[in-house]
Chains A and B, each alone.
Chain A
Amino acid sequence: NAGVTQTPKFQVLKTGQSMTLQCAQDMNHEYMSWYRQDPGMGLRLIHYSVGAGITDQGEVPNGYNVSRSTTEDFPLRLLSAAPSQTSVYFCASSYPTGTGYDTEAFFGQGTRLTVV
């Protein structure tokens, strides 16, 4: 059971370049999300999805796009990278239980992105 897998683990981009951070989970979780972690800021929610075809914005969505075409995958796209997007990015997934949507988040190992 691989859990939540993020690729790549490290990436350096030049300002203005675009790229996609990949996230895949094999636990059949409905809920997937992306966070960025910056020193002193904790984890801030970028985008999230409660199922295939459904996405919504989190706290800091500007400069990022997401789509959810399958249950397993939730890629995060940086349209035109900026130095302010230098951060560690975490993907997380969650599941509903029989008593409702009481969930905990399972995290990937993170992607460290540097924009120069």
Chain B
Amino acid sequence: AQSVTQPDIHITVSEGASLELRCNYSYGATPYLFWYVQSPGQGLQLLLKYFSGDTLVQGIKGFEAEFKRSQSSFNLRKPSVHWSDAAEYFCAVGARRDDKIIFGKGTRLHILP
């Protein structure tokens, strides 16, 4: 069964600073990997996804993530955060036919002015 670990529950960065959110996964086959963002009181929005091919994936809002098979990681990065990036971020693994999408526990991002 697949699983996802997001080691950081909370992260605080200053506006304009760079950001990296960590995600480690466990999955017995080629993983499909996702990052979602949830603003307070809102639903979930897909930031980016990795299915195959280039291991550096570009997403919306200036985010990117790099798939590293040897480290079982899919870390999310942004070179310069904005106050509007304050939200909760979820990494997820899955799905292929007859399988399921499993989410990590999330990382809440706080932005200092």
Contact = CB atoms under 8 A, between A and B. Distances in A.
Interface residues of A, number: 28
Interface in A62-116: 90, 92, 94, 96, 100-105, 107-110
29 contacts: A40-B105, A41-B105, A42-B103, A42-B105, A42-B106, A43-B103, A45-B101, A45-B102, A50-B97, A50-B98, A56-B100, A58-B100, A90-B43, A94-B101, A100-B96, A100-B97, A101-B97, A101-B99, A102-B52, A103-B32, A104-B34, A104-B49, A105-B44, A105-B46, A105-B92, A105-B95, A107-B43, A109-B42, A109-B43
Given A102-B32, A104-B34, A107-B44, A43 B100 contact: no
Given A108-B43, A109-B43, A94 B95 contact: yes
Contacts of A103: 32, 95, 101
A48 B96 contact: no
Interface of A: 31, 33, 35, 40-45, 48, 50, 56, 58-59, 90, 92, 94, 96, 100-105, 107-110
A100 B98 CA distance: 12
Nearest to B104: A42
Given A42-B104, A58-B100, 20 more contacts: A33-B100, A33-B101, A35-B103, A41-B105, A43-B103, A43-B106, A45-B101, A45-B103, A56-B100, A59-B102, A90-B43, A90-B44, A96-B97, A100-B96, A101-B96, A102-B32, A105-B44, A105-B92, A107-B44, A109-B43
Interface residues of B, number: 25
B27 interface: no
Nearest to A43: B103
Interface-centre pick from A40, A41, A42 (highest chain B CB count, 10 A) = A42
B83 interface: no
Interface string B37-57: 000001110100101100000
